[in-house]
Copies of this chain bind each other. A is one copy, B any other.
């Protein structure tokens, strides 16, 4: 049994990840802090450090959050780009850089991107760009991690459970069940792979 910190536990993607973490001790966290063990804001390095210190010993970090702004490229503001970059890109990088100081030997980080960097749609340029950045970050940084620590990223398509919200924006996409995304997180946490983008698409 590992101790796994799950960030964004109450979201649909967090719930999907949770289906794959059944055999572990899962510590939950989210931005609001409601209904979870700890509050954390991944855009704030101090908040991340506080979380890790409070948890103490842990073997895995699973992140399922990253705020993205959606707009046509021509009307997307600098603020919208910045919000997306600071959360989905820099926030996730910080989870790893700060986490390296606290995670146990042989631990793992599992980050989140999203299929829109492979299957672009209108309004999603900031999501796609930062997903491409995170996929690349994971593939490259894996070579640098010390003490047998691994890193992967889950790149899922839309969840069946979220299809009623996003389906209209995503013509021709096939949603996948949460349990399939849970398997991807499980394969990252309980496997030996590192530096991989684990696509979950149909």
Binding site for B on A (CB under 8 A): 45, 72-74, 76, 78, 81-82, 85, 89-90, 93-94, 97, 100, 116-117, 120, 122, 124-125, 128-133, 135-137, 139-141, 143-146
29 pairs from A and B in contact (CB 8 Å cutoff)? A45-B78, A73-B141, A74-B146, A76-B97, A78-B90, A81-B90, A81-B93, A85-B85, A85-B90, A89-B129, A93-B129, A117-B136, A117-B140, A120-B139, A120-B140, A120-B143, A122-B144, A124-B140, A125-B137, A125-B140, A125-B141, A128-B140, A129-B136, A129-B140, A131-B136, A132-B132, A132-B136, A132-B137, A132-B140
Per the bound structure, the CA–CA distance linking A38 and B194 in Å amounts to 46
Q: Which residue of B lies closest to A143 (CB)?
A: B120
The answer to whether A144 and B97 touch across the interface, beta carbons within 8 angstroms, is no
CA distance A133 to B129 in the complex (A): 5
Nearest residue, chain B, Cβ from A135: B132
From the candidates B45, B74, B124, B136, name the one contacting A133 in the complex (CB within 8 A): B136
Q: Give the residues in chain B near A122, CB-CB below 8 Å.
A: 143-144
B-side contacts of A143, CB under 8 Å:
120, 122
| Chain B residues positioned under 8 Å from A90 (CB to CB) | 78, 81-82, 85
Residue of chain B at shortest CB distance from A139: B120
Point out the residues of chain B lying under 8 angstroms from A144, CB to CB: 72-74, 122, 125
Q: A122-B143, A132-B136, A133-B133 are in contact. List 20 more A-B contacts (CB 8 A).
A: A73-B97, A73-B141, A74-B146, A76-B97, A78-B90, A81-B90, A81-B93, A85-B85, A89-B129, A89-B133, A117-B140, A120-B140, A122-B144, A125-B140, A125-B144, A128-B137, A128-B140, A129-B136, A131-B136, A132-B137
Looking across the interface, which residue of chain B has its beta carbon closest to that of A137? B129
